Structure 1
């Protein structure tokens, strides 16, 4: 294993009834404690993956801690970086949020984080963390409550103002219940899981990351100066979209150092100035984590996927799972259920269970759906509400599959979320499972990270060092946890360096297609809001009006903008419901409506080309 933290399976930990988060005392009732406890269990379920995430966090955490201290942000916010981007520099979500702190382009630009064809500072640990601190300070100015500021990082300032009671502004004590926002409870779980293993000087003795001033240099020049392989340097500096580092301000190049090697000193640096990175401490001098009870890290994988943004693992199947194909052997979410055999039909399932086909269809909201082999089906009525409060929709999920996973009646799930029968379900949507979403509470979306197709730079470095250490010590890792060795033997031609010209700003002049207008800033309007309203870049707004982000905006302030003379309305999309007839296939239906086959499958959340007679298909036509 990666021996930097020396984790071991211990007795399960009881979540405390009171916990301090960023200077606010949080009092958790029994339901909130259970929610946090189940999320904690998810985080530490695999010792290997918990270890990997902790090692990855410790690579970068000294950068984050230093910036938080400098900017006056509570140190607890460092755990939010684990919760958001998991310390993967180029992490991307389904909503196109990018980097360590999961910024969308416009929100990053509004916080002074540069995003263009030359640089994307969302992937830079120092620049993106400074941007995040600007947001925290701005929101805490409104709430005077760091926990609400944390919540607004997901909901936005306006969203949190709508959902949070005015009594909590400035509060130093908060009651956390089952109804409290899931994002806060998820944060508490992250703090409890990692507080004894991440940060506060803890580093892997074999590897760490340092920074080097690269202003005006090429990445290849920096590679020679810090004595790090050029390709490896590129992997840790994906924020740079070209070979040369701009010279308009300071740009720190991040580079790995291994073993006992000293970070590279720079001549222009004042020797009395505190280094961001220092020589790795020896094993003896490293701070020893406090001993405490932790959740068991050695649990076997159940084969049921964790649900991002939720607490616990669902569906929860209990009983004699080895005999799950037989009736009265297992329960799913505490409701009698059975596992369908391969090639099972509604009729054969009814015959085996003694439950009529009519009841099976009602218990499982089947409608025209066919039975799927190796899937669990209920033999009694599902509940009217979920055991937990929220679920974040993942790719490939449908409202029916979510209702099945949580044992909720499909009709009730729609009602709780004020959804129409034919309303499309978007990835990242936060679904309410226990109560009806209040009419004044807007639909909320969370970032769902896109599954990676290749190993991240951070995990690759940890794997390489871990593998080398194991080989040196003559030990072998378990097959399911052994890092894959990287084949560096294949020599490749030296890459041609790329030098991009910065994107030119459009001049503020009338043209055949665009016209100059004056927009007067309204109360509470931001650069982000104006950018979205007129579909222009924040950088363009600043350029046209000779402004800086730090100047801010005032009510009534005139802004010159270049906008299209006629703003094209969004094309109207007609939704058609097609009932599958005998002999029809997905391909024939796609040709009938002149739509792409893959689009047809996506609209209906289909993973294969199977159809059933009478099945309802959604077709979107412009």
Structure 2
């Protein structure tokens, strides 16, 4: 009788379990993973099915907590991967490495979200000390991970190989993975495939499936950018539990955020209270006192931006300013700020060839004749233009006060006069400065760049710049200069420039050259008897620029450089209305249909190269905004015989093509490509003709 009862209980339990068991995704025979098409053999399919079951079963509190952490951290990770142009699938690697625990610690000593060991973390620029451990900071660690992936992809040109290199290093990946995988968009997972890669794919399949069937979390994060403040003070200001705040910000080792860099403190809150928490953060920021001696003085005026096109206004040194957002150009900022382009350039002491840098605040009204303090000590690589933007003083006045003719780089530690003219008999003063690679001018402005309108969650702009067009948020003003002097004044000892022998162009040399596969600047220079230096100059190429197949190079013309004209010191000229900046002369190119975008180029600069308008390029390439990417191929002339650009074109699939990179190059989505070509999945083959509208 007891055996019968036990048997019936077993049957009943098994039946109930079968009814309650959730469906699980099945491993496919072919799948696109990290922009690579993966063919999966039967052995690996069975292995994947087992791993997926282990990841999603049993459906307990541990699994629910992991899924909730994905909902919290994935938006941050996705944004950084997108900005770094790294495949979105790599976010699942952080789940596999750490379960998204910020303080995860492995037996080998790897730490944080992405499990960086100390040597690798330091190599990737992460800070590790008693105050801060950026391996546990989701923003810096994710950016470092993206940088590590990109570095390896330069060698392998295959993101799946980069995943294995993240675990075994580039040497291990090159040794253990098939050489045929390099630069290939197709790979095969079989019995010889390392288990790490199979687990990575299982995590992607399992959690992508599960997240699409999981209710949104009742909790969320609000971002609070700050520095020089303790977590306890933040908790008191925002009425949150200090212990809970510490748990989500374990990167701050002493519960204090030091000055010198702005960090995003993640503030946990209920999703339904996110709006109230955000409003409280804005109120705290608005009422925060300005630190004495720190310039520029910034105050955000625009509380909410409903789209990427909305302007964000600031008070910068008590003057009207506007934040440069991704893709903005001078003409757009002028239009949004309701000033003329010539006036905008005049207010910021710029020319129409100077580039706008994302995340910087530009002036919308005239700067002052004098600075707010008497002196400033120049940092390494700093120019007088930087200082003029820093303190809101006109560049022309700054040049005059310091008896300098051009806004060229000045010596690190040089004391710059901001309110009056340095006496002629007083020597230039040089102060000692810290011998560091990164100056304050290279740090991002601690400003909020955008708002997510779906949940009203505030995000911080983490844009950084390594150019001289930077506003320094933490520059310290000086009260009195010291008495360290140098014995000679540079401006009175100017050397005459040595005239170079001008290269005489061959009259038979064509005006343009189309870059072929494998060609280098040296090969092109040898072919046309033109120096590499001159090729770089007339095409505006940097030493780090990489030639793209199909790119059009000029072989004749003037160098694409700009020298700021010497400033006239007369007081009368300064008070006149700004002179309208003349448009750059168009440089039309005959018989050129396409242009490959290079680093630093914008739609505006490209339009001037080919004698067309920005609107023309947008229409010909069906671009809605002004965002373009390096390597993108743009049509720069009308189709011959037609008055308008044809609404559809054909792309022939080449070796290495995937739907993802074809969509990126043509400014369309993968979904559009599938719809236009009646494709059910992501599989394409060499020679296939794809319709692009």
Question: Could you state the TM-score of these two structures normalised by the residue count of structure 1?
Answer: 0.41
Higher relative contact order by CA 8 Å / sep ≥ 6: 1 or 2?
A: 1
Question: Could you state the TM-score of these two structures normalised by the residue count of structure 2?
Answer: 0.37
Larger of the two Rg values belongs to structure: 2
